[in-house]
Amino acid sequence: MTNTLHRQGDAESFRDDIIVFAMCARGKNDKDALPKLRKFLEMAVPYGPINLGDARHGGALRPCKNMNPTAHWNRDRTPNLEEVVAGLDAPTTVAAVFDNMEKAKEFVKAVREADLGMSINISSSMENAVGCCEAAGIKRHSVGYSLGFEGKTEKLPNTQVLELMTMCGHGMVAGSLAKKMIDWVKEGRRTPEEAASYMTRFCSCGVFNPSRAKRILEEARHKSR
């Protein structure tokens, strides 16, 4: 089970969104798990993930306390994958986020061959998840679905805002921030790349996908839903 199940969108909208998790179970296989989880992250780097996550410290783009208001105009938006690997200091959930299906398949295959003894979870569309399993020579053994929202759904934000804010399963990307980024992109005040990087920094576990966010923001320029 993973909070990334609550990402909003149809199957096609996840064509560039594949998340591969590694995690241990407390009291079961958490002893000596740290080097195995670090190896998982190290193995992911050569396959070009768009984000790398450590649930304790965040992703490859992180907030900074020592900034002034003008810093946002020229801030470095290069993901620091090495910082995520080096900063892992305790057993936790780690993740690699891909925007390329072939790279994700090759990584899952490599993880299968490494046999780290950790639980591996793929979060994406069913087609993508099954494709990764087939590439690794294994069969999918279980599946989890989100049942979506219930209640007064008319009070929910629009589809574009939901697609952006639910990419952080812990709810750290506020709907008001997502709406503001959409408005700024429409007004030409920020590029889709800049707006996506801003939201990426707020995701505390590093599973936000800036490539998908950029695409959603570009679509928002031309239509409303």
The DSSP-derived string for 167-189 is: TSTTS-S-HHHHHHHHHHHHHTS
Q: What is the pLDDT of residues 3-52, one digit of tens each?
A: 788 899 998 999 999 999 999 998 888 889 999 999 999 999 999 999 99
* Separation between Cα atoms, residue 136 and residue 184, nearest integer Å: 42
- Domain chopping of the chain, boundaries: 3-143+152-217
Residue 225's pLDDT is what? 47
Q: What is the pTM of this model?
A: 0.92
Q: What is the pLDDT of residues 159-191, one digit of tens each?
A: 999 999 999 988 899 999 999 999 999 999 999
* Separation between Cα atoms, residue 8 and residue 26, nearest integer Å: 30
